[in-house]
Structure 1
Amino acid sequence: LASAFSGANLKPHVIVGSLLPEYKSNYLKGGVVDEGGNILITEACEYKRSFLNLNPKHVVITNIEEDHLDYYSDLADIQSAFIDLCAKTPKDGKIICNPDLPNLAPIVEKFPDKIVDYKKLLSKVPELKVLGEHNKLNAAATLALMSVFEEVGKNRENSADAQILDGAITGLEKFSGTWRRLEARGETEKGAILYDDYAHHPEEIRAGINALHQNFQDKKLVIFFQPHLYSRTKKLFDEFVEVFLEKNPVGESKITPVSELYLLPIYAAREPADSEISSEILAQKITEQNLSENSKMKVEFLPSFEKAAEIALEKDDQCVVVTMGAGDVYKILDLVK
């Protein structure tokens, strides 16, 4: 969104949850109000319903997943928070989303006149520098919102606003990604390609694995995963097991994209230790399931980043090495580089 709005010369103020490489900050100062700088783009979080402190004109929802279950009771509780957020949009506000996603059904039913289906803009998405089908969908959502602004410009007979979609596409073409979002981190001395990803929910992990598998089908995918929160690991335990063993089609066969999976100790963040769950337990369950499915994926628990770095340094140009998690797992690559 920030790149698209900037490409369209709309001078937005931007606050995001990652770092924008061009600015080495998560904040971009836009133009003054009198010169068109009256747009604020922010990445909002549903945790503890914090996004209800905002009063948005438009809302872009990429998905709704069962997460933050240390606060929310279930999916319906999460959906209720999103309904409350969308209810804060004004009469002419829009909700940019994929209305076909089952978890968005309550929102689509509640606000049918505000829904803008971003899938209709997929054909306009240019070639992107960032990997993954999820980024193509994000780009389509961006263009859907830009089309809303363009339509407003046409209605006002403002020729500048009426041409912003072209500028937005140029902005998307230049977008090179953000910190820790499937971020390319160079190569090892032996030629292994390095990536770091913030993925910490099964759906995010799935998107990352699929993106890397699609782009590096001829290489071995080696993942160092650091689970984030005891509560998330426990409540989504089966989903974590499933996502790493999930098979993707290649030609006429199906394979498990991950060749080697190494699990690091759980990153506790805001939570006290929970003896009922650990990365060792998760590794053991994945190993058992792995054997029962006759998969050749290697699974191992590692106690430290130093041990992980040793393994990463052994990988050659036939491998893509990825650190995954919302904690400090990226520091493994700092030891490798």
Structure 2
Amino acid sequence: MPPLILLTRLLNLLEMTIKSGDILYFIGLGGIGMSALARWCKHLGAVVYGYDAQPTNLTDELIEEGMLLHFEENTSMIPENVDYVIYTPAIPKNNIELKYFRNRKTPIFKRSEFLSLITEQFRTIAIAGTHGKTSITALTAHMLKSAGLNVSAFVGGICRNYNSNLILSENSNYLLVEADEYDRSLLKLNPLIAVISSTDEDHLDIYNDHNDIKSTFFEFGQRIKENGTLIHNLSVGPFDKLSCEKMSYAVNSDTNATATNIKIKNGKYHIDIKVEGLLIPEVRIQVPGIHNIMNTLAASSIGYLTGLSGDDIKSGIESFKGVERRMDYRVESSDIIYIDDYAHHPEEIKYTIKTIKELYPGKKITGVFQPHLYSRTNDFAKEFANELSKLDEVLLLPIYPAREQPIKGVSSSLIKNKMSNKNCTVSKRNEVIQFLKANKPEILITMGAGDIGTMVQEIETLFLN
């Protein structure tokens, strides 16, 4: 990029503020991260227009909230005098509307650039990691808000306590955001407090290898403000060479934050939490899973750093209702337990299945999984197969491509052919309901980050009727 254009772009970033009446246009408005930003701008008085590829329950809500949204690439539906354009990197580079705005020289910002601009106005807490970002962000935001702190948050899922992916407080001091590793977006943030929950191998379409991923998270740690703190899972790092303060967390460990005396009562984890010298006994975690104990420790560490009492931390944890599509109980009856989860990486699937097996020993567990991205399926087919083979019965849906073009020889059958459990079927989306009617599962888990989420209501209705 020529120096003059780069300088102009930087000045735009530094000087841009959203004012009432500004016209903003979001390309990819229906995405969970983009819609949270759009809701923020609408709250500030902006007029929000946008495009997305298809309608969903979320886009219906955005339209009801007064946003003007369409579902075809059509420049005639774009308003005149758009002040700023925000786009998601999931949008193809040849998107007609994006080209239109570039030709008109309208100020354009990638989502991560726009988010970075907003964060500089607050004491920012950024949650990073290949897994756990949304759960930690949502729990922490709820904990701080319940304790009376002025906090706002952009969340990568719908928080059940607020029925939204945007949590708002007037006159916020703190802003909670997810620091996304895809496209190295996290390197645009300069937080006061940061969490790194995990650094597993992923996004190998962006990163050269696992070391490249870990180096990027280390670089993110270097961006923490001078008087800030990094909170990290003990299993990731090392971060010794970072100049900021550091806190680690783990289960049953001599770390800055730990959980001990772990018990399962009526399907809920009960734990004792210790953060530095603060002991918080008999805390009931509403969302199951050992990984959610780890998420709770990260959130509790933030609560400690922001001055919350043990009672505040405990109350926030115990009143947290979870996030849609994160160990999300949809049906609980004597005939069927149906759980929906966003798991789309082998490590996430591993912990989801482990949790369900712990909670329902001896029960037949059926999984419906939609692989996300051709590249991820190709990179981790063996790992997906190993984890899915732990289920009693598996239904594999076609790969959800998102931003990608097909890769020759890569399909859901690549996973099936590597599975040791041969009770696996590759099926079309429109065959799922018939499969479930015929097989009558005891425990059902749907997993994936694609549009499998749009099927959840139909599956839920099947079992409730």
Matched, 1:272 2:405: yes
The offset of 1:202, in angstroms, is 0.4
In the TM superposition, 1:243-254 aligns within 5 A as 243-245=387-389
In the TM superposition, 1:5-20 aligns within 5 A as 5-20=144-159
Amino acid at match of 2:291: H
- Is the partner of 1:307 in helix, strand or coil? helix
The unaligned stretches of length 5 or more in structure 2 are: 1-139, 251-256, 260-271, 274-279
Counterpart position of 1:43 = 178
In the TM superposition, 1:194-273 aligns within 5 A as 194-245=338-389, 256=390, 258-273=391-406
Give, in whole Å, the separation in 1 of the partners of 2:416 and 2:191: 42
- Is the partner of 2:306 in helix, strand or coil? helix
Give, in whole Å, the separation in 2 of the partners of 1:241 and 1:164: 44
Amino acid at match of 2:285: L
Matched, 1:149 2:306: yes
Q: Which has the higher Rg, Structure 1 or Structure 2?
A: 2
- Is the partner of 2:216 in helix, strand or coil? helix
Q: Structure 1-normalised TM-score?
A: 0.82
- Is the partner of 2:399 in helix, strand or coil? coil
Matched, 1:114 2:245: yes
Counterpart position of 2:336 = 192
Q: Structure 2-normalised TM-score?
A: 0.60
- Is the partner of 1:236 in helix, strand or coil? helix
RMSD, matched Cα: 1.9
Q: 1:87 to 1:112 in 2, by over 3 A?
A: closer
Matched, 1:129 2:286: yes
Amino acid at match of 1:299: C
The offset of 1:285, in angstroms, is 1.8
Counterpart position of 2:228 = 93
Of residues 305-314 and 69-78 in structure 1, the stretch that sits farther from structure 2 once superposed is 305-314
Report how many residues are paired: 295
Give, in whole Å, the separation in 2 of the partners of 1:127 and 1:187: 20
The offset of 1:54, in angstroms, is 1.6
Amino acid at match of 2:353: I
Give, in whole Å, the separation in 2 of the partners of 1:8 and 1:50: 30
Counterpart position of 1:322 = 445
Counterpart position of 2:311 = 166
The offset of 1:179, in angstroms, is 1.2
2:323 aligned residue (161, 167, 178)? 178
The offset of 1:114, in angstroms, is 2.2
Q: Provide Cα deviations, 1:256-283, integer angstroms capped at 9, x if missing partner.
A: 4x11011110001100011221101211
Give, in whole Å, the separation in 2 of the partners of 1:65 and 1:55: 22
Higher strand share: 2
The offset of 1:113, in angstroms, is 5.9
Give, in whole Å, the separation in 2 of the partners of 1:197 and 1:86: 29
Q: Provide Cα deviations, 1:148-176, integer angstroms capped at 9, x if missing partner.
A: 222xxxxxxxxxxxx53321210110111
Give, in whole Å, the separation in 2 of the partners of 1:112 and 1:66: 26
Give, in whole Å, the separation in 2 of the partners of 1:112 and 1:276: 47
Counterpart position of 2:430 = 306
Amino acid at match of 2:247: V
Q: Once superposed, which parts of structure 1, at least 4 consecutive aligned residues long, lie more than 4 Å away?
A: none
1:76 aligned residue (195, 211, 234)? 211
Of residues 117-126 and 276-285 in structure 1, the stretch that sits farther from structure 2 once superposed is 117-126
Amino acid at match of 1:178: V
Amino acid at match of 1:274: I
Amino acid at match of 1:115: K
- Is the partner of 1:180 in helix, strand or coil? coil
Residue pair 2:364, 2:392 contacting (<8 A) in 1 also? yes
- Is the partner of 2:435 in helix, strand or coil? helix
Residue pair 2:226, 2:243 contacting (<8 A) in 1 also? no
Give, in whole Å, the separation in 2 of the partners of 1:173 and 1:262: 34
Counterpart position of 1:156 = none
The offset of 1:112, in angstroms, is 7.3
Higher helix share: 1
The offset of 1:23, in angstroms, is 2.3
Residue pair 1:94, 1:114 contacting (<8 A) in 2 also? yes
Residue pair 1:66, 1:78 contacting (<8 A) in 2 also? yes
Residue pair 1:12, 1:38 contacting (<8 A) in 2 also? yes
Q: Provide Cα deviations, 1:178-221, integer angstroms capped at 9, x if missing partner.
A: 01111111158x82211111100000111111111111113211
Give, in whole Å, the separation in 1 of the partners of 2:357 and 2:320: 21
Give, in whole Å, the separation in 2 of the partners of 1:28 and 1:333: 24
Give, in whole Å, the separation in 2 of the partners of 1:192 and 1:94: 44
